[in-house]
Structure 1
């Protein structure tokens, strides 16, 4: 029986997303994605819109810049391959989302696919929590599900599709409400600070408050003021980091700003070190770049490592001595600067601005979500490496949205 393109590529897309979420091996995932793209290029006549290429050009240039530092500094080929994979991953994800759904060419089908995938993921999440974690504590619940942006986008697509498209995504209202409840509960149970902030960003974007107008600035000001008041409350009360309940999660929220920004850290004080680990990574990266000033321009390149100056227990095997040299940093801005220099960082910021500005092209569901994704990446790059996070699935969604947005606006 002849398999239709729509069925084949949607099935392949579903497999890619589920593997991205649940297959631990980053390299295996990327190899599978490259093979999937190879199959597409072999079977289909590939025509990529020049405007899409212009949009992703900064990411392509960043990928190429990384080789400069590698050839100048002559780092280990084995370490370089890992970096190459990390910087290739967002390009692969964007192309898969764009090419597959250009062939499928059904926006409603794309939205339903993401929603159904999100529901599957939420059910898996519930099973893990019930049979493995047992809901014994917030920390244990977080341990088995740190974040899941597939479910977050599924929930937002489900709720806001009708607002923009004037049609229901599902005919049954009962089914709609069941999906909303399941996705909402699952999203909450991740207890993810990054997901909470990303949800706020998406919400104010969808309602148009991120457009630079008097009203938009006023709303953003109110949101920021509310955050300041919330943090004022958190700093006014005593919160323990070791409590098993919600208190430990509130401690993590309270600690979030200094975790990223504080660099004056006592390495011998384990509490201080782990509470500000992202800041410590960044501090070590800047220190190493100062030893080689040209790295601020072109970066240290693929294969470069950050010397932590001690063996950190970053592996799951307790028998390991630990890891002294790391390749990837949590702070994506520092990570991009370290690997590709100011040139790479400028290109990345330019890419994020281009994505955000889609909201000014036309006001529809595609442009609102594309712009929202740009702003989400502005934030997640600071905390979990953004578009270069090895588990990121947002980039696949972005690739598809860029096709549908270009198709409608013909730009």
Structure 2
């Protein structure tokens, strides 16, 4: 078999590295790789469409910067917040720039990258089972990763390969779809399952309001309510392994991030509803000092006091500046004004580019699904502010590809 090295191999390598590095769960490394890739791929011009997406994120960063002059936050945390809040901006730019360097094989590069990540994930899964004896849902996720937005996107694109103009032979298409789909499923992430459902429905056109779409969405809601009711009344045990343990996670999911009262002395209540606890403390922290912090937030370097040390990731922390909720982190840094601006970053994805080109129509639908999914992702997983997400690069990439097709 003849191996062909593309002329733009360097930029393809940069793209693969930018996506792959996020799976190491190391923010400083991710930010470093993305920054280097940005410098190596700066474009001569940028589309208005990309700037419309980036500007609100820039405004949030600038607002947090100026508000911080009213507080005496530590310089280290201010600098760290600058990198956190600029991560989506950097991701969109890197994705856009690297796409402009890879126009001859754009979508196939996306699939190839997902396939490489999926193979690595499956190898890690096997080693987790054979070496670490990871037989429970919690152990499997601990050793092999907690989520993968990128693989879900590519899996959905593969399911609609004809509409995206992907030309693979049947064997290669099946291989890519099965491997990437299996890898994405084995993260066993509730948010990824919701993401898949939303993106799939979007590409099927069921979020374009008509009689058929209303019937389909209503049927899904009814089935979901019946399914959840069955799970709730089956009363799965919290300490159970395997499927029962996963069902318990589904049982507590609807209220996990929406409870308004948490008993901090009750370990189960506190642990199961920790995201809600963060939200409660954030709102109290921002609003306790009056109307101005409520409107403008507390700026770069601001933190919340959890009132006790909590195991987060790899250490115990009491004071934190990065939360699980994208809306809450914007509220902490920039108040209600920041939330108002932040909503514009989501409505961006509901704007359709009028065209007769089929691929662009599919990108429009994919962006529509992304906008709907962002309401879920921001509430429980920080949206584009998630420290280990890579979908901002994918979005920037697709914006550049859409621009090229329009020309």
| Normalised TM-score (structure 2) | 0.92
**Cα distance per residue 1:359-393 (max 9 Å; x no partner):** 77766222122222222222111111011001111
1:122 aligns with 2:124: no
Q: Structure 1 residues 304 and 361, CA, compared in 2 at 3 Å: closer, same or farther?
A: farther
How far apart are the structure 2 equivalents of 1:200 and 1:405? 24
Aligned mates of 2:50, 2:139 — CA distance in 1: 42
Partners of 2:284 and 2:228 in 1: how far apart? 31
Partner Cα separation in structure 2 for residue 409 and residue 295 of structure 1: 44
Per-residue deviation, residues 46-77 of structure 1 (Å, max 9, x unmatched): 21122321232212211211112211113111
Mapped contact 1:111–1:157 kept (Cα < 8 A): no
Q: Distance between the aligned counterparts of 1:400 and 1:308, measured in 2?
A: 38
- 1:40 corresponds in structure 2 to 41
The answer to whether the Cα contact below 8 Å between 1:289 and 1:300 also exists between their aligned partners in 2 is yes
In structure 2, distance between residues paired with 1:12 and 1:164: 24
* Aligned match of 2:295: 297
Paired with 1:263 and 1:361, the residues of 2 have a C-alpha distance of 45
8 A contact 1:137–1:244 mirrored in 2: yes
| Partners of 1:141 and 1:54 in 2: CA distance | 40
Give yes or no for contact 1:282–1:331 (8 Å, CA) kept in 2. yes
Matched position secondary structure for 1:325: strand
Instruction: Write the distance in 2 (CA, Å) between the matches of 1:215 and 1:8.
Output: 46
Q: Give the alignment partner of residue 13 of structure 1, picking from 7, 12, 15.
A: 15
Q: Does 1:235 align with 2:232?
A: yes
Q: Secondary structure at the match of 2:209?
A: coil
For 2:350, the equivalent position in structure 1 comes to: 356
Q: CA deviation at 1:4?
A: 7.5
Structure 1 range deviating more: 340-349 or 202-211:
340-349
Aligned length: 395
Matched, 1:252 2:249: yes
Asked if 1:148 is matched to 2:148, the reply is: yes
- What SS class does the counterpart of residue 101 from structure 2 fall into? helix
Corresponding residue of 1:53? 51
- Check the 8 A contact 2:22/2:30 in 1, yes or no: yes
Shift of 1:5: 6.5
2:209 counterpart of 1:212: yes
C-alpha distance in 2 between matches for 1:111 and 1:348: 29
SS in 1 for 2:41: helix
Cα distance in 2 for residues equivalent to 1:340 and 1:329 = 14
Correspondence for 1:136:
135
Superposed CA deviations along residues 318-370 of structure 1, whole A, max 9, x for unmatched, are xxxx3110111111111211111112111221121121223777662221222
Q: Distance in 2 between matches of 1:396 and 1:164?
A: 19
Cα offset, 1:85, TM superposition: 0.9
Tell me the SS of whatever aligns to 2:308: strand
For the 8 Å contact 1:356–1:374, the answer to whether it is kept is yes
The worse-fitting range, judged by mean Cα deviation, of 353-362 and 142-151 is 353-362
Conserved? CA contact 2:17–2:33, under 8 Å: no
- Structure 1 residue aligned with 2:258: 261
Query: What are the within-5 Å matches in structure 2 for residues 162-177 of structure 1?
Result: 162-165=162-165, 168-171=166-169, 173-177=170-174
Quote the Cα distance in structure 1 between the aligned partners of 2:142 and 2:159.
28
- Which runs of no fewer than 5 residues in structure 2 stay unpaired? none
